[in-house]
Amino acid sequence: MDIIIQALINGLLTGSYYGLAALGLTIIFGVIKVINFAHGSLLMVGMFAAYWMVRLTGWHPYAALIVVVPLLFLFGYALQGILIKPILEGQRDVREPTEVIIVTTGVWYILDNLALMIFGAEYRVVQTSITGQIFMLGDYIFPKAQLYGLITTAVTAGLVLWFLKYTKTGMSIRAASLDRDAASLMGINQYRVYNIAFGIGAMIAGIVGCVLIPFYYVFPTVGVIFDVKCFIIVVLGGLGSIPGALAGGVIVGLIESTFSQYMTSTWTELIVYVVFLAVLFIRPAGLFGEKRDW
Amino acid sequence: MNTGIQKRKKIDTTLKVLLALFVFTVPLWVTSPTTLQILIFLFLYAYLTTTWNLVGGFAGVLPLGHSAYVGIGAYASTVLFISYGVSPWIGMWVGGLIAAIVGIIIGIPTLKLRGAYFALSTMAFGEGVRVLVENTMQLGPFNINGPRGICVPLIPGNNIAAFQFLSKVPYYYIILIMLCVVLFITWYISRIRPGYYLAAGGEEPEAAQSLGVNVAKYKVWAMGLSCFLTALGGTFLAQLALYFYPKQILGLDFSFELAFIALIGGRGTIAGPVVGALILRPVSELTRIYLSAVLPGLHLVIFGLVLILVMLYQPKGLVGPLEKLYNWFLDKVSGTEKEVRT
């Protein structure tokens, strides 16, 4: 029983940073209706930025947020403004232009392989002040770095929801995601809203980068692992849904941690795919998705 | 005026006949096995992207898991050959049938979904198949050897029944004929009624449905046919390489490459995938050969740049501007004007 509870704890902790990674993706989809295939690569950029910050300054990994968050926001803002905007402008009447998937995949190839050329293929780790530390609650172990990750996920999701609900920019983002034409008629600059939404998505990928640094390897293709996971999580939870992304992340985390008690961990990956396909067959909108999105 | 048009037609036909002659006589004067191998792979990619195009181009969706069907073809024919000595020529049809059935089962629920959902679910399916194969040593009576992959047992000498040849020339002609056949199938489908339904459903699903076209049905059939033909290509790949493993033949990269060659060439056109393979395969081969030692990954950076530039400036693919160039050339040579031709 103890083992099961510990596995559930581990699943929740892992699932929380999966959910955070998927959160950025789902926000971008919710507003712009495009899948950002470069999301994992943005996460990789965030991880490398955090890695070098910690490595060079010796700061706490969460202090690196001060640099990584604005950096990734600007990166995402520029990416949308320069590469994706021309496609959206050219295909106004198409709801989900596939060209965007291809362009973002191009960005993925470029970023991952630039990182490979600059930093080499080796797996890097950095010793931070919270690496390897644990927190005990009764008999159960909580690795500190992952516990902080869980808290960061909750805080980030809360802030994003607050931002979307109560700020003027947030309201215009929601308006544009509901009906882009009507929003434009109300005087909302559609493309500026898209830039901001993409920036927020990239920024969250940067936050995940800082969360992961104390306990995860950094290498140029680290994003691919998260890419495929995030795609599964957002579809599981419902594309565009913020609670869906978090719930989907926790579900995937729990599947991985509990099933690995009974079978080799490579099989758990297969179970995730099977659950994913089963959800698609039974409820294509995902757990929290809206019908109009599929 | 009329003579100009006749002359133009004559030059057009002559050029096409010359091209066909050229392609079919290559092995007579190219003796280097390396060059032939590169050409064989080029045609194989053209073949696989053309079959991808049946669903990815004409049905207007974006399948990103087609390597699963290549793998099904390769594994089916090879395990049948190893376990029961069934000739790969027969095994390839078995693989094709399995792939078609799997493709239809996957297609029925997913083809009703919007673009993003379809792309992601096919991708997840492809990855699921890879993980399944990597974790399975024994599938029923067949030994599929998990992540280490399978070697096709060598039969000494040229053996037509075993689909194994010492020289590259037979492989060249087999894949060339296969390519011609799928190009003919694509051409034929594009001018019969279901082909029109398919294209209509791909471009404007709501409009097509309101006119009484059962869009989902035609898409599912296209998916089945595409998967069937893709698996035949998988058997060819297995017999050509004689060794394959899940990460390569069922990998995400392979699926993506097939999709992107078609998209860069021009999805939904007959010549697009061939043009895409003709342009991209040499680019990726040459950059890999000459640049990967100096800067690993540079060839993929270039590949990514090409993808972005084509999508920004020629979102319909490169086949359009090339066709324009060819027409301009014909006009120039035969002296016809644009107005006359219309």
For every residue of chain A, which 3-state class applies, written as one string?
A: CHHHHHHHHHHHHHHHHHHHHHHHHHHHHHHHCCCCCCHHHHHHHHHHHHHHHHHHHCCCHHHHHHHHHHHHHHHHHHHHHHHHHHHHHHCCCCCCCHHHHHHHHHHHHHHHHHHHHHHCCCCECCCCCCCCCEEEECCEEEEHHHHHHHHHHHHHHHHHHHHHHHCHHHHHHHHHHHCHHHHHHCCCCHHHHHHHHHHHHHHHHHHHHHHHCCCCCECCCHHHHHHHHHHHHHHHHCCCCHHHHHHHHHHHHHHHHHHCCCCCHHHHHHHHHHHHHHHHHHCCCCCCCCHHHC
Residue A133 has what pLDDT? 81
Q: Say if residue A142's pLDDT is above 70.
A: yes
Highest mean pLDDT among A239-248, A285-294, B5-14, B113-122: A239-248
All residue ranges of chain B with pLDDT < 70 are 1-2, 336-342
A183 domain-assigned: yes
B48 domain-assigned: yes
Q: How many structural domains does chain A have?
A: 1
A252 domain-assigned: no
Across the interface, which of A113, A239, A270 has its CB nearest the CB of B301? Answer: A113
Distance from CA of A239 to the nearest CA of B (A): 9
A212 domain-assigned: yes
B301 by DSSP, 3-state: which?
A: helix
Cα A88 from Cα A181, distance rounded (Å): 13
Q: What is the mean pLDDT of residues A1-17?
A: 88
CATH number at residue B272: 1.10.3470
Interface of chain B toward chain A, CB-CB under 8 angstroms = 62, 109-110, 112-117, 119-121, 123-125, 127-128, 131-132, 134-135, 252, 256, 260, 263, 295-298, 300-301, 303-308, 311-312, 315
Residue A75 has what pLDDT? 93
A142 domain-assigned: yes
B9 by DSSP, 3-state: which?
A: helix
- Structural domain span for residue B278: 31-334
Pairing of strands B150-151, B243-244: antiparallel
**Cβ contacts (< 8 Å) between A98 and chain B: which residues?**
62, 115, 119, 263
Of A115, A118, A96, nearest in space to A107 by CA = A115
Residue A249 has what pLDDT? 93
Task: Please write the tens of the pLDDT for every residue from A92-132.
Answer: 766 667 788 889 999 999 999 999 988 888 898 888 777 77
- Contact call for B131 and A273, based on CB within 8 A: yes
Q: Say if residue A294's pLDDT is above 70.
A: no
- Contact call for A116 and B307, based on CB within 8 A: no
Dihedral of CA B83/B87/B89/B90: which sign? negative
Dihedral of CA A41/A47/A50/A54: which sign? negative
User: How many Cβ pairs within 8 Å bridge chains A and B?
Assistant: 130
Residue A188 has what pLDDT? 83
A286 domain-assigned: no
A27 domain-assigned: yes
Of A237, A240, A241, A273, nearest in space to A255 by CA = A273
A236 domain-assigned: no
Stretch among A16-30, A228-242, B96-110, B323-337 having the lowest mean pLDDT: B323-337
Q: Residue window 208-227, chain A: list those with CB within 8 Å of chain B.
A: 220, 224
- Structural domain span for residue A124: 2-223
Burial of residue A88 (number of CB atoms within 10 Å: 0-12, 13-18, 19+): buried
Across the interface, which of A269, A276, A284 has its CB nearest the CB of B113? Answer: A284
Residue A78 has what pLDDT? 93
Q: Say if residue A277's pLDDT is above 80.
A: yes
Across the interface, which of B62, B121, B297 has its CB nearest the CB of A101? Answer: B62
A219 domain-assigned: yes
- Contact call for A277 and B124, based on CB within 8 A: yes
Residue A291 has what pLDDT? 55
Name the residue with higher pLDDT: B228 or A58.
Answer: B228
Q: Alpha carbon A74 to chain centroid distance?
A: 17
- Find, in chain A, the residue whose alpha carbon is nearest to that of B256: A105
Q: How many structural domains does chain B have?
A: 1
Structure-block tokens of residue B48: 């696989």
Q: What are phi and psi of B59, to 5 degrees?
A: -85, -5
**Cβ contacts (< 8 Å) between B109 and chain A: which residues?**
280-281, 284
